[in-house]
A and B are shown apart, each in its own frame.
Chain A
């Protein structure tokens, strides 16, 4: 049984295929890590069209800011 737990923000294959495969194929578990992926709630999702080039709106990092995820992909 995994001894350590960590939660990350949601990821997609284009940037995190390795993480998705490691989760599915038990490669984190084999290293003693129970890796979990958080889900974003509606309040966490804002459209990038609300932002500008110099003042962008991004959904990345919001769960980490609230302490609901340890890491996110920037």
Chain B
């Protein structure tokens, strides 16, 4: 699945474009994809030295609450809290999309992964055929006890932010770019080694097995 991340400011903010977040604290849940998406959105707008981040919790509902309490000038949210924030009058000043990538140990069997890929592919096709009924899933899990999320109706969701794509092998260029970018921030050390990071044998066998039995 493709994850949508939005850089959000509160209703009273004087920030209208990402450049105006220079030297202002942005709450990020370090170590998660949304945090890196936030950094990338900021880095596209201001010099790196003007980026100021502040540790924020993983739970996006709690990050949203922190934003509304004024703990930081902006934060990065994902659905359903992007929709909640918009309903509360917050502004999205940037959005981006990134892959949710699966990580496995070296003992993953190709036939097991192939069955997983086939199940996901069927689900992607089913959801993409009619997304609206499936937005109810965004009200479950962490969101199940959040009254702001529970107040949302299916029509509140922007379906353009719910993006699903059939699984593909990991593009090596993209993996290397991501590694090198993270290393430039000091999050990773060393040089990217595709053979260490991606088990191409398992990946290839699984995708071939999955494709052989999938009806397009």
Which of B57, B104, B124, B138 touches A14 (beta carbons < 8 Å)? Answer: B138
Interface size (A, Cβ < 8 Å)?
41
Chain A residues positioned under 8 Å from B132 (CB to CB): none
- Cα separation A45 to B141 with both chains bound (whole Å): 16
Which of B58, B79, B119 touches A31 (beta carbons < 8 Å)? Answer: B119
- Tell me whether B120 and A14 are in contact (CB under 8 A): no
- Tell me whether B100 and A64 are in contact (CB under 8 A): no
Question: Which residues from 1 to 41 on chain B have a C-beta closer than 8 Å to any C-beta of chain A?
Answer: 1, 3-4, 28-33, 35
B186 at the interface (CB under 8 A from A): yes
Question: Which residue of chain A has the shortest Cβ distance to B108 in the bound complex?
Answer: A70
Chain B residues positioned under 8 Å from A4 (CB to CB): 111-112, 115
Among A4, A16, A25, A31, max chain B CB count under 10 A is at A31
In the complex where A17-B134, A21-B134, A52-B30 touch, is A47 in contact with B164 (Cβ < 8 A)?
A: no
Besides the contacts A31-B118, A49-B56, what 5 more A-B pairs have beta carbons closer than 8 Å? A14-B79, A22-B119, A25-B126, A31-B122, A33-B112
Binding site for B on A (CB under 8 A): 4, 6, 12-22, 25, 27-28, 30-33, 35, 47-54, 56-61, 64, 70-74
Q: Identify 27 residue pairs between A and B in the complex whose beta-carbon atoms are under 8 Å apart, listed by A's number.
A: A4-B112, A12-B142, A13-B79, A14-B138, A15-B78, A16-B100, A17-B138, A18-B120, A19-B120, A21-B123, A21-B126, A22-B119, A27-B126, A48-B32, A51-B30, A53-B186, A56-B35, A57-B31, A58-B31, A60-B103, A61-B103, A70-B105, A70-B108, A73-B102, A73-B103, A74-B101, A74-B102
